Amino acid sequence: MSWWQTVDSTLFYWINTAWSNPLFDFFLPLFREKLFWAPLYLFILAFALQNFGRRTGMLVVLGLVLAVGLSDFTSSTLIKKNVQRLRPCNDPMLQNEVLQRATCGSGYSFTSSHAANHFAVAVYLGLILGAGDKRIRAGLLVWAAAVAYAQVYVGVHYPGDVLGGGLLGSAIGWWVWVTFRKRGWLP
């Protein structure tokens, strides 16, 4: 696994340091903020209720909440606490080299809960909304990838952490969609 740590650390350096720029320095820390995305979440709620009706719209939202809850619990409680990988901003070998653009936090790094949660949302909603227009699905995946990239850029996760989180969230988003579809709860 030392080769993976070498690749992960090298990619981390490129994203966090070598590819720094003032535009990303301003915007990417915002991608970590819950309130920054609040208008999008309110839009999703209103869109679901408006376009799917009250019952189905509420089931869409329930599935979304379930997908995020499962991805967050799995990432934060089951995986992070067992893997116990230090964040790059807390790693004594890297601390002085990390450009820290956000609060580091004291928790562990693998898997990224931000990546897991946003990919769960993107895959779940992409499967519901992207059936008629693949650009919606692609847009949601690009959005989740941008949030994941931001975690590395601000110095709180390695690329492998967001990759693991993205895969975890995608699997959970897909599983919730399949489960709800089989029960006839989704359009």
pLDDT tens per residue across span 104-131 = 887 899 999 999 999 999 999 999 987 7
- For the cut 70, the answer to whether the pLDDT of residue 18 exceeds it is yes
- For the cut 80, the answer to whether the pLDDT of residue 144 exceeds it is yes
DSSP 3-state assignment of 131? coil
**Type of residue at 19:** W
Report helix, strand and coil shares of the chain as percent, to nearest 5.
75, 0, 25
- Residues of 158-174 as b/e, b for ≥16 C-beta within 10 angstroms? bbbbbbbbbebbbbbbb
**Rounded Cα–Cα distance for residues 131 and 159 (Å):** 30
Which pLDDT score, from 0 to 100, does residue 132 have? 75
User: Do the Cβ atoms of 85 and 163 come closer than 8 Å?
Assistant: no
User: Do the Cβ atoms of 115 and 165 come closer than 8 Å?
Assistant: yes
Which of 20-24, 116-120, 133-137 has the weakest average pLDDT? 133-137
pTM across the whole model? 0.93
